[in-house]
């Protein structure tokens, strides 16, 4: 049997890298020059749209509005192609100065184009409600109706056009610049472990190994790698948190999470209902960690034990094995779905191997509907990597099925963005569970699944509470010291763990590599939302069988063309029901109960 180290040198894995040429093919070439041509075309079209419509949006009839929106669609496509090419190319080697320079140039030119067009949504938001609704009833606006209707919700928080332009221009040297610096610093981290310097991503994967001393050593090495630069990362975080507080004040948002809720098309009340529902069930992770300690034969878990397998075998998968398992599972669910997922492997839409300076984690970039999505993985040959592959390909499936909706409606709010990914991951998990040879192996798989649910629902909610404390304390206490941020991190992690997990001294700085805190503040509760929604959807699939599949595909194909409540109704889920969250949490509780029975 091949070792993990051998599987990471598999030629098939190492050859699995993106072909980004389709993003710039329209500009008759590839690389920097093609990106510049795309942006020049977009800038010229933006000048035309501005000259034809600035100061006159209120005078447009349905035909004129549709024409203008199609032109904006074209601009967004050109900028999206250029931006996606630069960002994806940079993500595979954040240490390359040429790639960094291209990304910065694209961001600067894209912002110039954005400022030329700010007038449009500002004038559209000022239109009287009755006049706007009369226009939106016209069939010619089907391709952008929900987008235009949703944009009007920002009316109380919009500034004047000169002010909006100033904020857009300054964002390049504020949020974007600080976010890029943070990403580069984290990507450049090297962990000194077992006599070699490895990436943070690989070091963190060692926490999933069966040997406790190896996990402890990996955790200590990660903490040692994080310590030297923690003051710099804390300064970046302080700066961005303060920057957000200023913008929230200028835009009259009542609290730090309000802008995120608005973009998610979720009410403050529904989000707080989710947060409190999850916090009320912190007994689930605490029960699990106590059971896991008994299964591992230790008195109490330490933070580095949380992802440990409960069985001593360290299950490894080659990239080919992972690919075939995921593909076969998606095909069994739906041949149409399987065909879409197959394209990601056949047409080089995936970048999988771990490389120096490659961005950590995994993601799916939708890019633009006229091209196709791309998936980034950091495949380390663990069983969890198989589920990560299924997860990100769920995102890719969602993006691909929604491509016909166009650039205004392809993407959903973040609260629904995890639906397809978690659903696909659950399909693959159930396939692994069904193939378990005995109760012992079944327990091992359930343990991994419960670990995943806790990471996605409960840990993300603890992270939400950490963000809440950082943002609110920064607004009342001023700049937060490294020690103060670490205290808030430990406080919210301790609430999650109770007395079931020992928090070690080094773990205090582990907040400092999480990119979501920097790039998308307030994002993390969407993981819990998406996980519980997807679990409810999977529960309906188990109840209804094949008849559920067409409606599920319809949901994904709808993209963001309807409100979250309307999208949920397609598969019979009422997102306005406060009991919805409890139903999803009960499914996790049921898995834990089964694990407790098997352990007994």
Rg (CA), the chain: 24
**pLDDT of 172:** 77
Q: State the CATH class of domain 31-173.
A: mainly alpha
The residue written with tokens 């004040």 in the block is: 249
**pLDDT of 451:** 93
pLDDT (tens digit per residue) in 512-559 = 999 999 989 998 998 898 888 888 899 889 999 999 999 999 999 999
pLDDT (tens digit per residue) in 69-80 = 999 999 999 999
For the chain, helix, strand, coil in percent to 5 are 70, 5, 25
Gap between the Cα atoms of 177 and 116, Å rounded: 21
For residue 424, give the 3-state DSSP assignment. helix
For the chain, which residues make up each domain, given as ranges?
31-173
**pLDDT of 491:** 98
Maximum alpha-carbon separation in the chain:
73
Q: How many residues does the chain have?
A: 600
| Residues of the chain below pLDDT 50 | none
Gap between the Cα atoms of 345 and 366, Å rounded: 16
């Amino acid at each position: 049997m091949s070792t993990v180290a051998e599987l990471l040198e598999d030629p098939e894995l190492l050859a699995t890298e993106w072909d980004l040429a389709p993003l710039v093919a329209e500009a008759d070439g590839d690389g920097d020059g093609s990106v510049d041509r795309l942006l020049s075309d977009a800038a010229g079209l933006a000048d035309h749209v501005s000259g034809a419509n600035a100061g006159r949006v209120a005078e447009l009839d349905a035909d004129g509005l549709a024409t203008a929106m199609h032109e904006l669609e074209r601009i967004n496509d050109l900028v999206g192609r250029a931006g996606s090419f630069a960002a994806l190319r940079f993500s595979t080697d954040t240490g390359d100065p040429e790639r960094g320079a291209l990304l910065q140039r694209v961001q600067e030119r894209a912002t110039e184009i954005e400022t030329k067009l700010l007038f449009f949504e500002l004038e559209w938001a000022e239109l009287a409600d009755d006049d706007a609704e009369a226009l939106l009833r016209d069939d010619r606006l089907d391709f952008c109706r929900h987008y235009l209707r949703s944009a009007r919700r920002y009316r109380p928080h919009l500034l004047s056009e000169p002010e909006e332009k100033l904020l857009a221009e300054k964002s390049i040297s504020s949020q974007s610049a600080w976010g890029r610096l943070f990403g580069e610093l984290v990507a450049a981290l090297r962990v000194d472990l077992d006599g070699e310097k490895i990436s943070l991503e690989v070091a963190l994967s060692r926490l999933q190994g069966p040997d406790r001393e190896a996990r402890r050593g990996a955790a200590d090495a990660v903490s040692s790698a994080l310590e030297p630069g923690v003051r710099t990362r804390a300064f970046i975080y302080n700066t961005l948190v303060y920057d957000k507080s200023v913008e929230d004040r200028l835009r009259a948002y009542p609290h730090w999470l309000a802008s995120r809720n608005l973009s998610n098309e979720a009410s403050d009340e529904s989000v707080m209902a989710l947060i409190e529902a999850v916090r009320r069930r912190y007994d689930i992770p605490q029960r699990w960690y106590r059971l896991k300690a008994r299964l591992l034969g230790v008195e109490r878990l330490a933070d580095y034990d949380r992802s440990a397998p409960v069985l001593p075998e360290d299950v490894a998968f080659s990239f080919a094995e992972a690919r075939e398992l995921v593909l076969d599972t998606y095909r069994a669910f739906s041949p149409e779905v399987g065909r879409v997922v197959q394209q990601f492997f056949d047409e080089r839409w995936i970048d999988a191997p771990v490389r120096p300076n490659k961005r950590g984690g995994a993601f799916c970039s939708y890019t633009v509907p006229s091209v196709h999505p791309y998936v980034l993985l950091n495949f380390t040959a663990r069983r969890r990597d198989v589920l990560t592959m299924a997860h990100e390909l769920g995102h890719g499936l969602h993006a691909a099925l929604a491509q016909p909706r166009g650039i205004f409606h392809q993407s959903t709010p973040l609260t629904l963005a995890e639906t397809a990914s978690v659903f696909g991951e659950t399909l693959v998990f159930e396939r692994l569970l069904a193939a378990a040879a005995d109760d012992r192996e079944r327990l091992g798989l359930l343990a991994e699944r419960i670990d995943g649910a806790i990471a996605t629902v409960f840990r993300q909610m603890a992270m939400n509470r950490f963000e809440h404390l950082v943002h609110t304390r920064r607004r009342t206490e001023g700049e937060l010291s490294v020690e103060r941020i670490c205290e808030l991190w430990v406080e919210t992690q301790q609430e999650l763990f109770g007395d079931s997990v020992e928090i070690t001294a080094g773990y205090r700085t582990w907040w400092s590599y999480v990119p979501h805190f920097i790039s998308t503040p307030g994002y993390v509760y969407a993981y819990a939302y998406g996980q519980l929604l997807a679990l409810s959807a999977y529960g309906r699939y188990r109840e209804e069988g094949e008849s559920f599949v067409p409606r599920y595909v319809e949901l994904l194909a709808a993209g963001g063309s309807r409100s979250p409540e309307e999208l949920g109704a397609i598969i019979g889920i009422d997102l306005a029901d406060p009991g919805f969250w409890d139903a999803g949490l009960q499914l996790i509780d049921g898995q834990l109960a089964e694990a407790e029975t098997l352990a007994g």
